Amino acid sequence: MGKIVVVGSSNTDMVIRVPSIPKPGETVLGGDFFSAAGGKGANQAVAAARSGGQVTFLACVGEDDLGRRAVEGFLRDGINTDHVKRVKDSPSGVALIFVDHAGENSIAVAPGANDRLDADYVRQLSDVIASADVLLLQLEIPIETVKVAAEIAYNAGTRVVLNPAPARPLDESLLRQVSVLTPNETEAELLTGIEISDEQSLFSAATVLREKGVDAVLITLGARGVYVATENDHVLLPAYKVTPIDSTGAGDVFNGALAASLSEGGDLFEAVRFASAAAAISVTRLGAQPSAPKHEEILRFVEERTDSLAVQRTQATP
């Protein structure tokens, strides 16, 4: 079982299913409401744990009921919560999410206690990060915290997986410490200035990111699959075909499952295949953390669909 440290956010998702995503000034009636544990860091920690990883989570939550419930949920999934800090003067993070009939979503986040996950706290836990096989990061926490965590891991030889979401510019000094970068199309465009429209633009964007120092770039394309760029390969791997009902958290499930597979020392392409299967399962379920599948489910899904996502290292045309 590989050791994974996740440094990131924890939120409670307040979700409304609606016929269509409201436009500015529009009120949409007729939706169903539910709440679920969320936050990109927490989602990825849960997904990694259910995918077979030994997970330690570094996070901040408020001393409120939402924070208490979040920690209880982590414990149920076998996550080490020794370093989930409770803060008195800030509420736990909350995300408000609309999900339409096609499973697309629109999200607004109030970070709350997540903003209190500072670089000094991470420095105090350098030994925890250095002992991991994989460090998994996102951008719903202060960027200085992300930089410090990545530097600690890089210097210790720990593999760094960075999901650059929500989208924001990143320093090359950070990117040079990243083993695997997992942007979606929007994030890849922001980081490179290249509009993603076809395989040629995917090749160009991934090349730019690799030239900035990233070892491997995985551009996630939703239902179209994942574009994988390494030193030797540029490959578009198709997605598993499923009927989605809620895409909330699918990217987080992908990253968590990816980290779990990589922590075992697995091949990158096989890790992408495993993570794509986990994400495909997740979009057929409601919610972020509730949708994350377990290790046995993912393996069974892959075995049943061996012909739908063959791993082929075919060089993309530059």
Structural contact between residues 290 and 246, judged by C-beta atoms closer than 8 angstroms: no
Distance CA 135, CA 45 (A): 11
Q: Is 82 a catalytic residue?
A: no
Only one residue has tokens 């995917």, namely 202
| Identified catalytic residue from 100, 252, 267, 307 | 252
Nearest to 48 by CA among 279, 298, 261, 218: 261
DSSP assignment of 118-143 equals -HHHHHHTHHHHHT-SEEEE-SSS-H
For residue 252, the surrounding DSSP H or E stretch is: helix 250-263
- The residues, any chain, with a CB within 8 Å of residue 135's CB and separated by 6 or more, are 4, 5, 6, 7, 129, 149, 150, 152, 153, 158, 159, 160, 161
Burial class (CB in 10 A: 0-12, 13-18, 19+), 68: middle
Distance separating the N- and C-terminal Cα atoms of the chain:
38
Provide the CB-side half-sphere exposure for 232 (13 A, CA): 4
CA dihedral for 268, 281, 315, 313, sign (positive or negative): positive
Q: What are the phi and psi torsion angles at 80 (to 5°)?
A: -75, 115
Strand 3-7 and strand 134-137: the pairing is parallel
The helix/strand/coil state of 294 is coil
Distance CA 282, CA 249 (A): 8
Compute the C-alpha angle 118/119/123, nearest 5°. 125
The helix/strand/coil state of 81 is coil
Report, as residue numbers or ranges, the catalytic residues: 252
